[in-house]
Amino acid sequence: MLTGQNIICFAPNTWDDIWRNRHQIMSRLAKQNRILFVEPTVYLRQVTPELRRRGPLALRRTHVYSPLENLWVFQWPRYAPISGRPPLSNLTFNLRRRSLQRVMNHLNMSDPILWVFQYNLGEMVGHLQERLSIYHAVDEYSAYTPAQSRVKGSSWQNTVRRMEADVIQASDLVFVTSPLLYQSKKHLHSHIYWVANGVDYDLFADKNQDGTSLPELAGASRPLIGYSGVINEKLDLVLLNRLAQERPHWQFLFVGPVVLRHDLDLLRNLERQPNTHFVGRQALEALPAYMRACDACLIPYKQDEWTRNISSLKLYEYMATGVPIVSTDIPAAREFSDIVWIDTDAGGFTQAIEQALSADSSERRARQQAVARQHTWDQRVEALSAKIAERLAATA
Mean per-residue pLDDT, 275-291:
95
Q: What is the pTM of this model?
A: 0.94
Nearest to 319 by CA among 197, 204, 177: 204
Q: What CATH number is given to the structural domain containing 276?
A: 3.40.50.2000
Q: What pLDDT was estimated at residue 262?
A: 86
Q: What pLDDT was estimated at residue 54?
A: 59
Instruction: Find all residues with CB under 8 Å of 275, minimum gap 6, and list them.
Output: 244, 247, 248, 249, 250, 251, 252
Residue 48 confidence class, pLDDT cut points 50, 70, 90: low
Q: How many structural domains comprise the chain?
A: 2
Domain range for 260:
201-372
CA separation, residue 252 to residues 156, 240, 244, 302 (Å): 36, 9, 7, 18
Residue 43 confidence class, pLDDT cut points 50, 70, 90: confident
282 and 306 part of one domain: yes
226 and 253 part of one domain: yes
Any domain includes 287 = yes
Nearest to 222 by CA among 113, 315, 353: 353
84 and 168 part of one domain: yes
Q: What pLDDT was estimated at residue 119?
A: 95
Q: What pLDDT was estimated at residue 55?
A: 56
Of the two residues 369 and 207, the one the predictor is more confident about is 369
308 and 280 part of one domain: yes
312 and 390 part of one domain: no
340 and 298 part of one domain: yes
Q: Give me the half-sphere count of Cα atoms (radius 13 Å) on the Cβ side of residue 210.
A: 3
Residue 52 confidence class, pLDDT cut points 50, 70, 90: low
257 and 334 part of one domain: yes
**Is the pLDDT assigned to residue 65 strictly greater than 60?**
yes
304 and 172 part of one domain: no
Q: What pLDDT was estimated at residue 218?
A: 77
Which range, of 147-156, 205-214, 336-345, averages the lowest pLDDT?
147-156
Any domain includes 23 = yes
Any domain includes 1 = no
157 and 301 part of one domain: no
What does the alpha-carbon distance between residue 342 and residue 299 come to, in Å, rounded to a whole number?
Answer: 9
What are the pLDDT digits (tens) for 216-259? Answer: 887 788 999 999 999 999 999 999 999 999 999 999 999 999 99
Q: What percentage of residues in the chain have a pLDDT greater than 90?
A: 79
145 and 94 part of one domain: yes
What are the pLDDT digits (tens) for 11-23? Answer: 999 999 999 999 9
Which range, of 88-92, 139-143, 247-251, 315-319, averages the lowest pLDDT?
88-92
Note the Cα 158 to chain centre separation in Å.
Answer: 23
Q: What percentage of residues in the chain have a pLDDT greater than 70?
A: 92
Provide the 3-class DSSP secondary structure of residue 22.
helix
Mean per-residue pLDDT, 339-346:
84
E strands within the chain? 6-10, 34-38, 63-68, 71-75, 113-116, 132-137, 173-176, 192-194, 224-228, 251-255, 276-280, 296-299, 325-328, 340-343
**Could you give the strand order of the β-sheet that contains 296-299, starting from the edge strand earlier in sequence?**
276-280, 251-255, 224-228, 296-299, 325-328, 340-343
350 and 305 part of one domain: yes
Q: What pLDDT was estimated at residue 155?
A: 85
354 and 384 part of one domain: no
Q: What pLDDT was estimated at residue 215?
A: 83
Q: What pLDDT was estimated at residue 47?
A: 61
What does the alpha-carbon distance between residue 289 and residue 210 come to, in Å, rounded to a whole number?
Answer: 5
- The C-alpha torsion from 43 through 35 and 169 to 121, rounded to 10°, is -10
What are the pLDDT digits (tens) for 77-111? Answer: 878 788 877 888 898 899 999 999 999 999 999 99
What are the pLDDT digits (tens) for 255-280? Answer: 999 999 888 999 999 999 999 999 99
Any domain includes 110 = yes
What are the pLDDT digits (tens) for 145-186? Answer: 655 444 455 788 899 999 999 999 999 999 999 999 999 999
Mean per-residue pLDDT, 204-208:
88
- The C-alpha torsion from 325 through 366 and 204 to 178, rounded to 10°, is -60
What does the alpha-carbon distance between residue 98 and residue 353 come to, in Å, rounded to a whole number?
Answer: 55
Q: What pLDDT was estimated at residue 85?
A: 79
Q: What pLDDT was estimated at residue 220?
A: 80
